[in-house]
Amino acid sequence: MLDGFDESYNHLNFLDRAATVARQRGQSLWRTEQGRITSKALRDGREVWYGSKRINDVTTHSGFTGTIKTLADLYDKQHDPEYKDIMTVEYEGERISYSYLPPRNAEELALKRRNIELWSQQTLGQMGRYPDFCAQLVVGLFDWAHIIEKTNPKWAENARAYHRHASRNDLCLTHALTDQYYDRTKRVSEQEDPDLILHIVGETKEGAVVRGLRTLATLAPLSDEVLVYPNRARDADEADYAIAFALPMNAPGLKIVCRDLYAEHADPDRHPLTTRFDEVDAALIFDDVVVPWERIFVYKDPKLLAGIMYIHTWAQYSTMLRLITKLEGFLGIAQLLTRLAKRNTSASSQILLSSLMQDIEILRACMQVAGSNGYRAAGGTWAPLLSPAYRVHSIEASDRAERTMEGLLTSTLMLSGGASDLNNSEIGPFIDRYFRGGATTTGSTCG
């Protein structure tokens, strides 16, 4: 039980006023106070679109409520005495999430790893864009500031200030890096429609004006802010396309266009992961959005921007650790189901299960090496030593795991009949009898 937590309190029924207050203070809409999540503050005027309709309140839409609860529970855990010291740390006089801590040595990197593993385990590794990931990007930005400094000290201070802002307010972020729909035979600056790719179209006293499309902003409908920069280099004469910045999700002119909301009509009994962990991807349309000057980290500088992917160093570490947890989830469910069906005694099942075990063990060893061979990055932050080989192997392992699950569980994966059918008095008894497999109750097989 959390300190001061009122059991009757429903975090989805917080006052709308919280959004205004949070915005005025520059706080996270997910900021917790005494264990109470202010997710209702996501009603902040953000322009979320789905199926030709605008969603005015993501907190009550069934496409989001399950994931909101998952995230709310995780943020609440930061106040739980059992988890507080695992998830948060004192840094420059403030209590911040370990996700935002720029580690100063190997010990602090190990403590960050413990926090990453907690977030991963709580989401079964199924949320690639859990808030830890983008927080680690801001750690990277903080370290990269020493490079920015050589070009423009003001931008470097913007980067450091953004780390202060994001960490102290525990912001939930997304990022948008990809130029998606354009003529690949032409250069960025030579598209028939120059607005197809996000670019600078003007300047005001308050900031730069940007226009165009940028994807793939996973979790954007539920995030506080978005980090925007391109994942492909710009040529020297493409300065208007060379910008890196951060922006609140309710910035005027920013349109968030959602992909299918898998959880919208999903039955939690039949789609237990979908209804808890769907981190909706979105395309962002910037319709003459003003980016405040103090939120710009690179401006019209293709040469500097070419190095920005460096900031992914710590986020990649987070991704690798999360993926191990995800593979452990595959292994765990495969072990349970093969045991129930008594398939675990067959050589073919054991060989398939061992391939999952093999990949998990190899990736654990990679992460052990990444941590123990850590180094002090040029900006002074302690960094894991990650080889591209580790990441390539993890992707191959993920693909292998999917095929392994199919090989192990075969046609039973094409689920017909589920836990929710048990509730019907007419069909329920039949489901209970015929879907039991090796389990003592049908519920444990179907669920």
Partner 1 sequence: MAVAADMVMTPFGKRSQLYERLQSGEVDRMRQRLYNQYNDPTPAQRMMRFVKDMG
Q: Is the CB of 290 or the CB of 446 nearer to partner 1? A: 446
Identity of residue 447: G
**Given the complex with partner 1, which of 222 and 239 has the nearer CB atom?**
222
Nearest CB to partner 1, comparing residues 213 and 401: 401
Residues interacting with partner 1, by CB under 8 A?
Answer: 126, 128, 218, 231, 260, 262-263, 269-274, 277-278, 281, 312, 316, 319, 323, 326, 329-330, 333-334, 337, 387-389, 391-392, 394-396, 398-399, 402, 405-406, 409, 412-415, 418-419, 445-447
> Residues with Cβ < 8 Å from 292, sequence gap 6 or more?
206, 207
Amino acid at 307: G
Q: CB of residue 233 vs partner 1: minimum separation in angstroms?
A: 13
Q: Go through the chain and tell me how many residues it has.
A: 447
Q: What's the closest the beta carbon of residue 185 comes to partner 1, in angstroms?
A: 18
To partner 1, the closest distance from the beta carbon of 326 in angstroms equals 8
**E strands, 249-377, where?**
254-258, 282-292, 296-299, 375-376
In the block, which residue shows the tokens 């444990």? 444
- Min separation Cβ 4 and partner 1, Å: 34
Residue closer to partner 1, measured from CB, 253 or 443: 443
The span from the CA of 334 to the CA of 130, in Å, is: 24
Q: Which is nearer to partner 1, 170 or 359 (CB)?
A: 359
By beta-carbon proximity to partner 1, the closer residue of 154 and 271 is: 271
Both tokens of 320, joined, read 């690798």
User: CA dihedral in degrees (338, 341, 347, 352; nearest 10)?
Assistant: -30
Backbone angles phi, psi at 116, to 5 degrees: -60, -45
Contact between 422 and 443 (Cβ < 8 Å) = yes
Cβ-based nearer residue to partner 1, 161 or 395: 395
Residue 117, CB-side half-sphere exposure with 13 Å CA sphere: 11
In which region does residue 92 sit, left (phi positive, over 0), alpha (psi from -120 to 50) or beta (all else)? left
Cβ of residue 245: shortest distance to partner 1, in angstroms? Answer: 21
Are residues 22 and 230 in contact, defined by beta-carbon separation less than 8 angstroms?
no
CB of 302 to partner 1, least distance (A): 19
Whether 228 contacts 198, CB under 8 Å = yes
* CB 427, min distance to partner 1, A: 16
Q: Partners of 243 in the beta sheet?
A: 299
Residue 29 carries which side chain, given as an amino acid letter?
L
CA torsion 34-37-41-47 (nearest 10°) is: 150
Pick between residue 280 and residue 291 the one whose CB is nearest to partner 1: 280
Q: For residues 277 and 314, which CB has a smaller minimum distance to partner 1 in the complex?
A: 277
Beta carbon of residue 389, minimum distance to partner 1 (angstroms, whole number): 5
Distance of closest approach, residue 313 Cβ to partner 1, in angstroms: 12
**How would you class 202 by CB atoms within 10 Å of its CB: exposed for 0-12, middle for 13-18, buried for 19 or more?**
exposed
